Chain A
Amino acid sequence: MSSAGPRSQSAGQERARQLAGELRLVVRQLRYEQLSFWRNRFGAIFTVGFSVVFLLLLAAGGGTQRSSALGGIEEIQYYVPGFAAYGVMSACYNNLGIQIVVRRQTGLLKRLRLSPIATWVLFGAVLANAAVVSVVQVGLLLAIGRLGFHVVLPHAWLAFALAVLVGIASFAALGVAVSTLVPSQESAGPIISLVFFILLFLSGLWFPLTPGSGLAQVANYFPIHHLIVAFFAPFDTLPGASPWAWHDLGVVALWGVVATVVALRRFEWDPRRN
């Protein structure tokens, strides 16, 4: 770049200045997204409250039992990463998917598309919002686990952070992708949440799956079980197991890539009429 003249230098500065402006706009949008999310009590309770309440219920109802499926560790040590994974999936897949359908069908997406805001700024803020909600939940569940039930925190923080990151990215892509398959606002909740909760049930959130069981084989095809495993591994509670669940992270990421392709190909801005 040293050979560049003053003109291209100032053009570069101009681009940098524009980029800084756009990033400020992302932060600004994010603030309004956050306001909107936390004020929507139903959504906030369903997403954040749900994971906390279920963790507490499961912990109260025998969470200190030792699990034979998990080499004799306390079940609560499994539920904390499990519900942290649920929190990420709920914020990124369930909440984001429904939110996009509602926004599309009410014309909100169209209006934003017509406004001068850049598409990447818009999506940057929406995805950042889902990421913030996810991280808040993960933090909350770790805190409850540590303070309330003396759960051991992840030893391999880097592996845990990577699992959170891959989870947010892949399930946000799944949320956007599933929104393109839903035809109307009324069917958003039933379609998106029903799929989610059935798969959650099959995927070992409520009880650890016994490796090699029929249920475990079914769950293997879907990303939910793998994300739970990837969240659990960095706690390093099983002797001899690696905190880096590469295989599971790979499956989750693969789902994310496929979802991204579907989302990019099928995304629509205007309300779908039936």
Chain B
Amino acid sequence: MTGRAPLGSTAVEVDGLTKRYGAVEALRGVSFTVAVGEVFALLGPNGAGKTTTVEILEGFRRRDGGTVTVLGVDPAGRPRSLRQRLGIVLQECAVESNLTVREVLARNAGFYPDPRPVDEVVELVGLGEKADSRVARLSGGQQRRLDVGLGIIGRPELVFLDEPTTGFDPSARRGAWDLVRSLTAGGTTVILTTHYMDEAEALADRVAVVAAGRVVAQGPPSSLGGRDVGEAKIRFALPDGVEPAALPVDVRSVPSGFEVSTTEEVEVLHALTSWSIAHHVPLVGLTVERLTLEDVYLRLTAASGAPLPAGSATVERATGSKDRARRAGARRA
């Protein structure tokens, strides 16, 4: 067993990565770094370039430009010494259906110099009772867990998870998340792609939002796109007969009543509640809400020319620029 890189050193470095398929520019200068021991999530709409980026890091696809270092090595030549240090879980459940769980794991263990014991992996992915069942007889969720097992059988230093919980029921998702957390507890670096915001929020130390072949934002999920300091939404309803024109601030009509988006929520709340007390008019169901990760994501991806997902009020006013959003919010307030 070779010594692993210490926690905090660089596991993956991507700089100015470009790739085109014919006339389509799939990647237009993607850059990010991932530290050893980190869980890094690539978020983005379908076709944004997540999978292409990951496939280049895995050595499966060649890049057109930019530099890429994975565990200190350029993956372009698919050196075997690098492949032995990677674990890869693809979107497709790709396992020979006529072999048993144990056989498939044992076979793949033979590809690596220092694999985990098969029984250990069987337990880790919770397939103890199915170890001698043929893969064809597993449920979809069980096959997915076997997939994850195959991804970690070689004791990888870096694991790629491509949409690991797509199609899972809620309890299976929790199980998968626990598994990812147990990997990182052992110091394994994880790069995952997902379009579930709650997944990114639950697992990732840092996320990068990819849209139209570029990284449009990156950072910890809690502060991505300035959502920790950005605008808040104040919502309430008014009793029948009270016109919003009487309010001290400009509001928008929403199905549940009225809404104010502002970066100065303390001031706006003060104005509203003072008015409410002075005029004896209740603010029914008053709530203050920060932008969700999804709000930020939708803004970022909409601003960079990706197709607009339906059903988000914030998208209509998306500007992609924190300052402009702030000014707009202040004006409305």
Measuring CB to CB, which residues of chain A are less than 8 angstroms from any residue of chain B?
A: 25, 28-29, 32, 35-36, 39-40, 103, 106-108, 110-111, 113-118, 269-271
Q: Are B94 and A25 closer than 8 Å at their CB atoms? A: no
Q: How many residues of B contact A (CB 8 A)?
A: 26
CB within 8 Å of A: which B79-104 residues: 80, 83-84, 86, 88, 90-96, 98-99, 103
Q: Are B91 and A114 closer than 8 Å at their CB atoms? A: no
Known: A116-B111, A269-B60. A111 touches B96 (CB 8 A): no
Chain A-chain B contacts (Cβ-Cβ < 8 Å), number: 62
CA–CA, A117 and B59, complex, Å:
14
Known: A114-B60, A116-B80, A118-B80. A32 touches B107 (CB 8 A): yes
Q: Are A106 and B98 closer than 8 Å at their CB atoms? A: no
Measuring CB to CB, which residues of chain B are less than 8 angstroms from any residue of chain A?
A: 58-60, 80, 83-84, 86, 88, 90-96, 98-99, 103, 107-108, 110-112, 134, 150, 154
A-B contact pairs, 16 of them (CB 8 A): A28-B107, A28-B110, A32-B96, A32-B99, A35-B98, A35-B99, A40-B98, A106-B93, A107-B91, A108-B95, A111-B88, A114-B59, A115-B83, A116-B84, A117-B111, A270-B60
Contacts of B103 in A (CB 8 A): 32, 35
CA–CA, A39 and B108, complex, Å:
19
CA–CA, A103 and B86, complex, Å:
22
Q: Is chain A's interface secondary structure helix, strand, loop, or mixed overall?
A: helix
Residue among B83, B84, B95, B107 making CB contact with A29, cutoff 8 Å = B107
Known: A35-B99, A113-B60. A106 touches B94 (CB 8 A): yes
CA–CA, A110 and B107, complex, Å:
16
Known: A36-B99, A114-B88, A116-B80. A107 touches B94 (CB 8 A): yes
Q: Are A110 and B60 closer than 8 Å at their CB atoms? A: yes
Chain A nearest Cβ from B125, distance in angstroms: 16
Chain B nearest Cβ from A150, distance in angstroms: 38
Q: Are B94 and A116 closer than 8 Å at their CB atoms? A: no
Chain A nearest Cβ from B151, distance in angstroms: 9
Closest to A25 in B: B110
Chain A nearest Cβ from B39, distance in angstroms: 20
Chain B nearest Cβ from A107, distance in angstroms: 3
Q: Are B83 and A114 closer than 8 Å at their CB atoms? A: yes
